[in-house]
A and B are shown apart, each in its own frame.
Chain A
Amino acid sequence: MGYVLDFGWLKDAVFLIANGATMTLFLIAVSAVAGIVLSILGAAARRSRHAVLRQLIGGYVELVRNTPFLVQLFFIFFGLPSLGIRLDPVVAAILAMTLNMTAYTTEIVGAGLDAVHKGQREAALALGLKPRQVFVKIVLPQALKVIYPALTSQIVIMMLESAVVSQIAVRELTYEADMLQARTFRAFETYFVITLVYLGMSIGLRRLLVAGGNRFLPGGVR
């Protein structure tokens, strides 16, 4: 066996790797927040009285959940310019991640809304709260508490999936890995290190979200 693993390039690459990791975290932070806000609206609209709205959102969710993220990304980045919508890679990545995230979390949030007992809504209405107050102050907090673990998993999955946005030249972790291995010719070692960074980030992000949940959700995360 003539091959010797070489990690000598690593000390010059730490800065690039840290930069890439920061970009990955930035992407997931923005798209997670935007995705969850949109999916709360989506899940509420899917339970509204307007049949057209319900079907539109249902169709959107099915379309996104049954096509690969990579294809969605290419469609947004390469396809939309032919409609005159030209997007910066980072914007396209955030848009694709948010739209993808929203479809999955709409289902999750919806399940949470359904899990809140009907009596809660009735009690709140009986106390004279307006329907919007009932939703924001009574139903939504309870729903979020139920679905918090599922949301956490979905955010971590999305972060791992964001590795694909390197394909449209967003300078995140995988993109930096591609550049590094092209420069050092140490492809295996490079991807090995980057894989460990991803592993650390997914464990760290999960811990952070669980800790955040324990801190801010009444009664903590189950």
Chain B
Amino acid sequence: MIEFTLWDIIRNLLLAARWTILLSAVAFAGGIVVGLLILFLRISKRRWVKRFAEYYIGLFQGTPLLMQLFLLFFGLPLLGLRIEPWTAAVLGLTLCASAFLAEIWRGGVEAVPVGQWDAGSSLGLHYISQMRLIILPQAFTMTRAPTVGFLVQLIKSTALTSIIGFEELVRTSNAINNATFEPFKVYGFVALIYFALCFPLTRYAKMLELRALKH
């Protein structure tokens, strides 16, 4: 039997935390890209396009993330795609993040005064340029606090990927716990690591919120 010292436990947990961070970063980046696409659909003037985006967002916000992960993990192989836990985890979190981010940014876009759109079109800008140069920069500035807030939620959500077998912080802690029988210590440390990742971001979001209130 291998003896686990306290340092072994902490070291292994910190090594596993790298995967939590990587997964969060990749899913957040992917969520931004796909979320932008969904945002464009959501604010489209065509009713069925808008309706599609509404259903997309409603679906991801109205079902448990765990179910979304299971559906991808068991569903994609049916389409003939070989799928690893990592792929299902990235894909699931990306799609889920895209729905939440699109909804957050939509609030920002709708808060931009109509005059800004009018000014853009009177300058002869077409739709994409109006969005890129005038509307989106303002919408993103307004929604910076909830976007960072969602990143915190995303980091916490990566814990669920342990259930479909992705080897991140929680899955590693389960294994360590099975070897050491010290759940109090192990899960306590895991909680502290998540806290160390999330708390600075929470504070940052709070600061952005207060700054936005001052303007």
Please report A residues at the B interface, Cβ cutoff 8 Å.
1, 3, 62-63, 65-72, 74-75, 78-83, 156, 160-161, 163-164, 167, 174, 177, 181, 187-188, 191-192, 194-195, 198-199, 202-203
Contacts and interface: CB of A to CB of B under 8 A. Distances in A.
A160 B59 CA distance: 12
8 contacts: A66-B152, A74-B183, A82-B183, A156-B62, A181-B74, A188-B75, A191-B70, A192-B71
Contact of B59 (A75, A188, A199): A199
Contact of A174 (B66, B162, B202): B66
B160 A164 contact: yes
B156 A68 contact: yes
Which among B66, B78, B159 has the greatest number of chain A C-beta atoms within 10 A? B66
Contacts of A167: 163
Interface residues of B, number: 39
Contact residues of A: prevailing secondary structure: helix
B177 A78 contact: yes
Given A82-B183, A167-B163, A198-B63, A191 B191 contact: no
A65 B177 CA distance: 24
Interface string B98-116: 0000000000000000000
Contact of A75 (B67, B158, B187): B187
A136 B170 CA distance: 42
A70 B64 contact: no
B70 A67 contact: no
